[in-house]
Structure 1
Amino acid sequence: MAWDEWEQLKANAADQRSTGMQLNQLDPGGGGSAALPGQTGDLKVGHSDLVKIGSQAHGLYDDLWNKARVAVPSSDKAAGDLSGQGFALGGGLKHVSTRWDEQLKSLMDACAHISNHMQVTKKVHAGDETYIHRAVSSIDALDAGFDERVGEPGKKNPAYEPKK
């Protein structure tokens, strides 16, 4: 598309007051603030969610290792043969092969990083859940022990009685 044609299309759109050329933005009037956390809900991450993400990343890593890297040796061999026969295409093919290998390694590193991160996140999340559960359970026990309304006056507080 030529520059003049682009300019003409923009002018036509502006003349028609087309919504296709508008930016999505918040109405400048009224102000406002972000919603309170109680209005939006809590962030919830289940172990199964983390396992699925980590598993997908690990599967992609395996597929890249098994299928995508096999092109590099044959491409390098072909590039060497072409260069040896005096074809300039050999150098270009070698360049493409080298770039492919670099990008493939970068992608594989990213997949490994995601997979490992999900494993660590799963362990940390489980530890946090255990800690929070213990902390909240202790607070409940303390509250029950100090609550004067629990049990009748003169009787033992049931919070301290052995569970049956």
Structure 2
Amino acid sequence: MAWDEWEQLKAEAAVSGSARMQLNHADPMGVGYDRLKSNKKAWSTAGEGVSGLQDDIGKALGKLDDGQSGLGDTSGCQSAAAQQELYDSWKEYVGKVKGRCGELGGLLERSGRDLAMSDADVKAELDKIKGKYQDTESVGGQAKDK
């Protein structure tokens, strides 16, 4: 679920008056919300899974490099030059995806291990990752020099 969607759901619940608890506060009504527990193993498993994607992405980058290795000099051949440009672009993008997986996985693991981060702290960390790994604009097959 996207962070914005989560924030919207929380705001709607607060407006409707149906939210009788907040996860970061004691149970004011004494109806058993204090039994709500976060599962550290689930957080840790999620973080390890996301971090583990780095290995597969690294292998894919290796295969990408192997497939590109025979291209050679691209001058004088527009299709070869275009293919080299595409390769460079994807190599950079996939490398950033690999980095993002490492940082996001680490955040998930820390969040589960510590269980001391507030929603605001987690959002701030997610925003840092989002800012660092800003996605590129899609070009949709548009010609470069037109």
Please give the TM-score of this superposition, normalised by the length of structure 1.
0.47
> Could you tell me whether the CA contact under 8 Å between 1:58 and 1:112 is conserved in 2?
yes
Unaligned runs of 5+ in 2: 1-14, 22-28, 118-146
What does residue 92 of structure 1 align with? Answer: 82
Cα shift readout 1:107-155 (whole Å, capped 9, x = no counterpart): 1011101221123223322x79xxxxxxxxxxxxxxxxxxxxxxxxxxx
Identity among equivalent positions (%) equals 16
1:109 aligns with 2:99: yes
Q: Distance in 2 between matches of 1:44 and 1:68?
A: 40
Question: Where does 1:48-127 land on structure 2 (aligned, <5 Å)?
Answer: 48-75=41-68, 77-78=70-71, 80-81=72-73, 83-84=74-75, 86-125=76-115
- Count of matched residue pairs: 94
Shift of 1:98: 0.8
Cα shift readout 1:15-48 (whole Å, capped 9, x = no counterpart): xxxxxxxxxxxxxxxx843422169x57642111
Secondary structure in 2 aligned to 1:70?
A: helix
Cα shift readout 1:29-79 (whole Å, capped 9, x = no counterpart): xx843422169x57642111112111211221111112334213532541x
Give the counterpart letter for 1:108 in structure 2: K
Change (3 A) 1:119 1:35: closer
Shift of 1:97: 0.5
Change (3 A) 1:49 1:73: same
Q: Distance in 2 between matches of 1:87 and 1:54?
A: 45
Change (3 A) 1:107 1:44: farther
Which one has a bigger Cα radius of gyration? Answer: 1
Larger relative contact order (C-alpha < 8 A, sep ≥ 6)?
2
Unaligned runs of 5+ in 1: 1-30, 129-164
> Could you tell me whether the CA contact under 8 Å between 2:47 and 2:105 is conserved in 1?
yes
Q: Distance in 2 between matches of 1:69 and 1:45?
A: 38
Secondary structure in 1 aligned to 2:17?
A: coil
Question: Where does 1:115-154 land on structure 2 (aligned, <5 Å)?
Answer: 115-125=105-115
Q: CA RMSD in A?
A: 3.0
> Could you tell me whether the CA contact under 8 Å between 2:46 and 2:109 is conserved in 1?
no
